[in-house]
Structure 1
Amino acid sequence: MPKKVTGWAIPLSALWLSAWGMLPAYADTPSSVLEEQYQLGTGDVITIRVFGEDELSLEVRLSDSGVINYPFLGEIQVAGFTASLLEKKIAAGLLDGYMVNPSVEVTIKEYRSFFVDGEVNTPGSYAFLPGLTINKAIAMASGLTPRASQRKIIIKRGHGENQEVIEAEMDTKLYPGDIITVKQSFF
């Protein structure tokens, strides 16, 4: 079980959404549930489709601003929303004078990368796939160096004030954007 080392502040908007059951917190959940709980962020590639309206469909990689330019609605803040909340936001915008009953689908085509550094043979960024664990991520990074510790592995999750630092084990689940650091062993 991962051990939380430092706490993290939650933005008021996330607290409000969480209080209304609209933004569940990350937990060790099956990968099929990841997309329902996953908050969109920089580097994610999303596809937005509106049934019967090809000109309103698009695929976009989220930039650092977390904002996309959507037909009819203009700039929309996307970062921090789940796919289902974004569907509702776009549908509500299209209902307001543009369409009678819009059917909007938002899917995550590509999750943002995660990063592995420290005592691995090939440090760098790697494509995230649901169900990844530390063990699998280390395998993607060509394994541990001879000096690596299998017990001193740290995950940094989140950004800025929202960053959480976790002491991880080999079976700890990963999320998109995680930064994994494998420390040296002293033996």
Structure 2
Amino acid sequence: MAARLPSWAWVTGLTAGATAAVVALAVQANHGPHPTAAVADGKPSATASPHASATPHASAPPAPPAASGEGRRIVYSLGEKRVWLVDATGKANRTFPVWPGTVSPQPGRYSVTLRIQSLKGSDGVEIEHVMYFTKVSGVNIAFSNALDGSSPPPADGKKLGGIRMPKPDGAALWSFGDQGTSVTVVS
């Protein structure tokens, strides 16, 4: 009859194997491509449109609204229908227009509470890069973009909390904001 290994030996072996696999994956990831922030080569131009999406070849995006907080955060302006991605130094690395739903959050400070890669929105549109940050009168408020990159059609009286954006901006927001990332909503 073969000798049986005690359960602690199995647990120790499995733990060591899992640790080795994680280390191997971490080393492999470290050698892969790393995202880098675009570096603007000057000051914002006086003729720069505040409504243009930031691209790696554009001048520095406009500063986030005053009183939008400090540190790394997502800033959403209800009045301008615009989002800024702000780094830890307070500099906006990207800004872009958005199409808000019919239900808006109150100005204030929130954080990303849930991220979902893709799903069907409450308006029936297939969406991705969904980042929830609050709820208003039972309606979830979240950033997202349509899978096909389209802008949303008129809401036809539905209560919708989706804040949609162009597809490249949705991908940038998804890369920028993890669960717990600060979201500041201003008027």
> TM-score higher than 0.5 here?
no
Q: What TM-score do you get using the length of structure 1 for normalisation?
A: 0.21
Determine which structure has greater relative contact order: mean sequence separation of CA pairs < 8 Å that are 6+ residues apart, divided by chain length. Answer: 1
Q: Which has the larger radius of gyration?
A: 2
